[in-house]
Amino acid sequence: MLQACRRALGAPRAFCVVVAMAATLMSAAPAFAASIQGPKRSALKLLEDGDAVRKRLLLREGRFSIAPVIGFTLNDAFQRTALLGAGLRYNLSDTVALGGSFLHGISFDSALAEEITLKRKEKVAQAGFSSVAQVISAELVYTPLFGKLALFGRLAFNYDIQAIVGGGVTVLDGERDLSSTAPMLIVGAGLRVFIENNIGVNLQIRDHVYSAALNAVVPITEEVGSDAVAEAEFSNNFAMMVGVEFIFPQEPETSD
Per-residue pLDDT reduced to its tens digit, 157-180: 999 999 999 999 999 998 767 889
Q: What's the CA dihedral at 213, 216, 222, 225 to 10 degrees?
A: 130
Residue 242: its pLDDT value, please? 98
pLDDT at 207: 97
Q: How confident is the model at residue 155 (pLDDT cuts 50, 70, 90)?
A: confident
Question: What is the predicted pLDDT for the residue at 222?
Answer: 46
Residues forming beta bridges with residue 137, ordered by sequence position = 101, 168
> What pLDDT sits at residue 103?
98
What's the pLDDT at 52? 55
Mean pLDDT value across residues 21-33: 52
- Note the pLDDT of residue 32: 45
Query: What pLDDT, on a 0 to 100 scale, did the predictor assign at position 128?
Result: 79
Predicted confidence band at 34 (pLDDT cuts at 50, 70, 90)?
A: very low
pLDDT tens digits along 208-247: 999 998 877 666 554 555 666 778 889 999 999 999 999 9
Alpha carbons 251 and 196: distance in angstroms, whole number: 10
Cα(176)–Cα(160) distance, integer angstroms = 45
Lowest mean pLDDT across 22-31, 72-81, 129-138: 22-31
User: In a 3-state reduction of DSSP, which class is residue 42?
Assistant: coil
Q: Where are the alpha helices (DSSP H) in 42-152?
A: 43-49, 111-119, 121-126
Spatial neighbors of 125 by CB under 8 A, at least 6 apart, are none
| pLDDT for 67 | 97
Q: Is the pLDDT at 254 greater than 60, yes or no?
A: yes
Mean pLDDT within 130-148: 95
Considering only 42-56, 154-168, 183-197, which range has the smallest mean pLDDT? 42-56
Report the C-alpha gap between 85 and 121 in whole angstroms. 33
Whether pTM > 0.75 for this model: the answer is: no
**51 touches 94 (CB < 8 A):** no
